[in-house]
Structure 1
Amino acid sequence: MPADPDQVYALLADAGQWPQIFTPTVHAEVTEVPDADQQLIHLWALANGEVRDWTSRRTLDPAARRITFRQVVSSPPVASMGGEWLIEAAPDGGSSVTLLHDFAAVDDDQEAAEWIEQAVERNSTAELEALSRAVTAGPDGEPLRFAFSDSVDAEGPAEAVFEFLARAELWPERLPHVGRLDLTEQGDVQRMEMATLAPDGSEHTTVSLRVLRPEQHTLVYKQTVLPGALASHTGRWTVEPHGAGVRITSWHGVTLDVDGVARLLGADTALADARARVRHNLGANSTATLRLAKEFAEQHAERQGAAWTR
């Protein structure tokens, strides 16, 4: 990979960046840090087209540039799984990255073992390719990844805001920039196909996987079918106490697709201009959603009187 080994290790060590970098990863939460070199991580990821979640324990060794992992709560048909990342300096410069796995299927079922092997092979190949892209800069060394957020404050309960954000099947009625939305749910995971009207008048269809965390008043998502100028797009909605009410924030993580930018915006389009346009379009729609979520929560508070503050 065309990057310094320490840079590659730092990306792998920061699990919060995985959904932005790795195609299969939908969401990653560090749930516990028992020691300086130990982490417990709850992961949601695609495996053979299905969203599975599990908890892994990671051991970080920055001096050796080695990260070992072992699932402590697996998702059937996986009975156990572990492995390691090893990053070494390549002889010709850059980095050499090795990803190893070991696993067992529930009841040693052969068909399940084959399913797991296919999922591991597919995801590992995708992750290594994505990692290489993530450490590769754009033309003239310009960054392809960037992040931003927008917030509004609301005098209403967090539960009402979260309901507005989670009930996406009602968005075509509630949000003027949503033309069509198909939603399916399984547990805390939603799949959402949405036709969106951008501020510049263009319309595009995206598919997102969303993980609902109602106990945290947080909803995270990852687009799996993206607008043409983006290589990846992740985000989250958070609702936090603020003053007498709440602060609602929309966060975005974006990676530009250089070829897509040239194809859609023109070969002479500077990456800085592409970033500004993407930021404007995504931010405008998010801000519209934030304002309507605020209005929904405040109307709810008016109906409930002052009871929601007690």
Structure 2
Amino acid sequence: MERVHRLSYAVDAAAPAGTLYTLVADTTPWPLFLADTVHTERLDFDGLTERYLHWAGAEGEPRASLWRRNLDAGRRRVDFREERPEAPVTASSGSWRVERLAPGWSRLLLEQDLTVAEVPGAQRVLDAAAARGRAAADGLRAVAERWRGLDGRLVSFEESVRIQGPAEPVQTFLYEAGSWPGRVAHVTGAEVAEHRPGVQRVRLANRDADGSPYPTDEVRVCFPAAGRIVFKRLRPHPLLAAHSGEWSVEPDPAGVTVVCRHDVLLDGRKTERVADADPARARRYVRELLGRESRAVLDAAQEYAGEPVRALRSV
């Protein structure tokens, strides 16, 4: 036996309708904007229709879901459907709509239809879906209302290193973050939990450039066959409001290129203390800080990958 349940939620935002629609339509930065979203990955997009994977979950336990969406910018509407919902949900679809209320004011409406098998625990599934919808709408509203300074607080960059050797030891080093203390300069402690294969909770004790300690707590989703690890820090560096990114190992006949990408949202109130309210200076400061840390991991990975070679030569 199944029942169809309609969930709906609406929030008003002190932001232009076009700004709010843009945040709904582009899922790429959602890990920086939505607390439960760890990673999004677009699979197909023709300008009107897209398919994307969405890794999200509370308490650092993300699960993947596959979605198809139809985007209508003229009507400021996005229709969506989950392609393979998880039991007891048998169908999930709905829409996001943005309405202009007045100059500088808009309304975001979320409607979702869930077909759920009538089994024990079905109500908990509905309650969780409703909570996720409310959190997503509230999160997008909060970002939209700070849209004037948003571009200045977003920073994306990459660090990379070239290694003349196989990919496997590099991937092993990046995967086994528990081995980083003593190898990576700024990491003084590590705690790694992996309750499901490929999904890690990593807590690191770090030392800042001035020697002061700071902890980070992140979720990592690992794709060993593709040489990728995507991450989101649930507890980022103190200067950041949000931080996500990816480690990737790209092999070729001559060796591998190891890349670390960072996407961050600055905490404007805290960066003022180190940048005298200068957004450009704040971006440079954070870029240098995270770049230095990722280079330390990359250098350690390069050294780790070379260890078998040095040991063989010393025999």
TM range (shorter): 0.7 to 0.9
| Residue identity (%) | 33
Q: Is the alpha carbon distance of 1:139 and 1:37 closer, same or farther for their aligned partners in structure 2, counting shifts above 3 Å?
A: closer
| Aligned ranges 1:101-250 → 2 under 5 Å | 101-105=112-116, 107-111=117-121, 113-137=122-146, 143-185=152-194, 186-241=196-251, 244-250=254-260
Q: Which runs of 5+ in 1 are unaligned?
A: 306-310
TM-score, with length taken from structure 2: 0.85
Count, aligned residues: 300
In 1, Cα distance between the equivalents of 2:41 and 2:312?
Answer: 34
Can you list the C-alpha shifts for 1:74-98, whole angstroms capped at 9, x where unaligned?
Answer: 2344333222111222224243211
Structure 2 counterpart of 1:70: 81
What is the rounded CA distance, in whole Å, between the counterparts of 1:92 and 1:181 in structure 2? Answer: 50
Give the match for residue 95 of structure 1.
106
1:273 match = 281
Separation of aligned partners in 2, 1:303 and 1:98: 62
Shift of 1:163: 1.2
Q: Cα RMSD (Å) of the superposition?
A: 2.6
* Partner Cα separation in structure 1 for residue 312 and residue 105 of structure 2: 60
Letter in 1 for 2:188: G
Please tell me whether residue 23 in structure 1 is matched to residue 32 in structure 2: no
Equivalents in 1 of 2:238, 2:185: separation in Å?
22
Equivalent pair of 1:240/1:246 in contact (CA under 8 Å): yes
Match of 1:15, SS state, is coil
**Cα displacement (A) at 1:277:** 2.1
- CA deviation map 1:178-230 (0-9, x unaligned): 11111111122111111111222221111100010112211110011223321
Distance 1:3-1:242 versus aligned 2 partners, 3 A rule: farther
Q: Deviations over 1:105-159 (max 9, x none)?
A: 3x32252x33223322332232223223333448877622111111111111222
- CA gap of 1:169–1:15, structure 2 versus 1, over 3 A, is same
The secondary structure found in structure 2 opposite 1:70 is strand
- CA–CA distance in 1 between the matches of 2:32 and 2:187? 24
Q: Which amino acid aligns with 2:289?
A: N
Q: CA offsets, 1:23-59, max 9 Å, x none?
A: 11111112234x5522221211014763222111112
**Deviates further, 227-236 or 1-10:** 1-10
Structure 2 alignment gaps of length 5 or more:
1-12
Tell me if 1:283 matches 2:295: no
For 1:57, the equivalent position in structure 2 comes to 68
Equivalent residue of 2:200, what SS?
A: strand
Which position in structure 1 is the counterpart of 2:57? 46
Q: Which amino acid aligns with 1:10?
A: T
Q: Give, as a single letter, the amino acid of the residue that structure 1 aligns with 2:89.
A: V
- 1:297-308 map, 5 Å: 297-300=305-308
TM-score after normalising by structure 1: 0.86
The aligned amino acid for 1:155 is Q
Change (3 A) 1:257 1:189: same
Q: How has the CA–CA distance of structure 1 residues 71 and 140 changed in structure 2, closer, same or farther, with 3 Å as cutoff? A: closer
